[in-house]
Structure 1
């Protein structure tokens, strides 16, 4: 089968189309003929030599941790899903490929009206945002600050917090402010004076903050939120302990994914697809992510 992978770590140019053996579903697994794959910042780190928690590097290394496709093989003991079912799901690595195998408990049925590009990019950012907001105790009546609110995780966090009844303030580039308003957030620009602008929008204070932007945003959050246990970061792990705030890593599960799918079907969750690339243009997809300050998700599609 075809896949996008690396034989050596480095810049986007090392990511190339390769031929590898097609995997076979073992007991408890299903094989998926992949239709779409979300591209995550974590994939760029893998391409550069990072090993994700729970993963192991093997050469050639195929990145990717979320996908959507059609079940074409079912392993022994799997009764919850059948050949021909359309699904979306998650796994550690190996998703930039025409086929992948995955435990049956890591997929969920795709709603028929959900486009493949959306299905392939829902799991990673959605589950990270859901994990983070739950860890921070976000609930109805809270005022929540989300940094990098127009990005993949940020835009999902905005919508989840809004759906749960919170007031949401989101930081983003000016060009993304209308987009944030459409998701239910009050936008704030980056740069000098950001902390003061946020205070003016929340005279009663900020209850919780999620950093998906970096150290400057995290330090600003410490100035704005009294309870540091309700400040979390998904990117600035190096200074989280120093500041006494939470380092948050996604806790993915079929139940969490099912909740996100339900919110999508209710019209409370949407995904903006920034750009779509074919599998043989995976390097271009990585370049798109590296530009930063993007809106929504980048996706690979596989014919």
Structure 2
């Protein structure tokens, strides 16, 4: 019997805190006909990663232990599947490698990625920067698409300084929209630099937004609002819409959209164009080594980091 070569990967074999994450030797992944084998150079941590690890999404997602966590990756194509004609060996790629179950993720030296989850890496980015883009960037892009934002509209972005919010602000500005973004005071200068008009969240938010937009806003994008239903009803202009990545009430009570990000080569290509044209910048907060993935998870779980946390593979 042939023994599969081994690779280094982060794994966990049960739900729990960051202490369940271990650096282990795992068999190299098998390569399906519509996939490519990516030699990972970097991966990034998203809030969903530690929530899956803790078991909070068990009712929503099938999990097969041991799990290699992570969905974001940037690296170089090492081998191509029999029907994976979209890429060649040596191509620099990045992607949101999410399947319908949780098992073989991106915190590993080698990642078997379906071609539908990948795109060519932006030429202007390092691998660490590119790994910070896919999940958060696609979430922002797809929620904006779902809301149908166009030039001249005023958009309220909740949690505008977060990983998704920063991408959304820049994509919206590139579309010619006016952006009002909620954030803590310490992030206001940063948001102004991205082209948003910042407002403090919390009590009095409606009045502060009305001071900037007396007629209300055309679109509400929710990446972490305290009171989505109340503020939206108070601020959304007639004919406006709301899209949320966290609150089902956006759809059930407000008649808007609940968005769950999907892998998409076409949408990644759109982000690549915005990045390489200079319209979207990538904010990497901190880079960890693969062996320190637990510390990276802990930092993201604290909820106060601005920008993306990346692991160098």
Per residue, is there more strand in 1 or in 2? 2
**Aligned CA distance change for structure 1 residues 239 and 204 (closer, same or farther; 3 Å):** closer
In the alignment, the residues of structure 1 paired with residue 82 and residue 11 of structure 2 have an alpha-carbon distance, to the nearest angstrom, of: 29
Whether 1:274 aligns to 2:285 is yes
Equivalent residues in 2 for 1:118-267, closer than 5 Å: 118-227=129-238, 230-237=241-248, 241-267=252-278
Conserved 8 A contact 1:67-1:88: yes
In the alignment, the residues of structure 2 paired with residue 110 and residue 175 of structure 1 have an alpha-carbon distance, to the nearest angstrom, of: 32
In the alignment, the residues of structure 1 paired with residue 128 and residue 58 of structure 2 have an alpha-carbon distance, to the nearest angstrom, of: 24
Give unmatched runs, 5+ long, in structure 2: 1-6
Give unmatched runs, 5+ long, in structure 1: none
CA deviation vs aligned residue, 1:10-66 (integer Å, no higher than 9, x gap)? 222222212211113221211001011121111111101245899531111122111
In the alignment, the residues of structure 2 paired with residue 200 and residue 120 of structure 1 have an alpha-carbon distance, to the nearest angstrom, of: 38
RMSD: 2.0
Residue of structure 1 in register with 2:43 after alignment: 37
Whether 1:88 aligns to 2:94 is yes
**Aligned CA distance change for structure 1 residues 8 and 52 (closer, same or farther; 3 Å):** closer
TM-score normalized with structure 1 length: 0.93
Residue of structure 1 in register with 2:16 after alignment: 10
In the alignment, the residues of structure 2 paired with residue 54 and residue 290 of structure 1 have an alpha-carbon distance, to the nearest angstrom, of: 20
Number of residue pairs the alignment of both structures matches = 302
CA deviation vs aligned residue, 1:127-152 (integer Å, no higher than 9, x gap)? 11111111111110100000110111
In the alignment, the residues of structure 1 paired with residue 253 and residue 239 of structure 2 have an alpha-carbon distance, to the nearest angstrom, of: 12
In the alignment, the residues of structure 2 paired with residue 239 and residue 105 of structure 1 have an alpha-carbon distance, to the nearest angstrom, of: 29
Deviation at 1:295, TM superposition (A): 1.2
Secondary structure at the residue paired with 2:179? strand
Conserved 8 A contact 2:250-2:257: no
Whether 1:71 aligns to 2:77 is yes
In the alignment, the residues of structure 1 paired with residue 256 and residue 124 of structure 2 have an alpha-carbon distance, to the nearest angstrom, of: 40
In the alignment, the residues of structure 2 paired with residue 228 and residue 33 of structure 1 have an alpha-carbon distance, to the nearest angstrom, of: 48
TM-score normalized with structure 2 length: 0.91
In the alignment, the residues of structure 2 paired with residue 177 and residue 184 of structure 1 have an alpha-carbon distance, to the nearest angstrom, of: 11
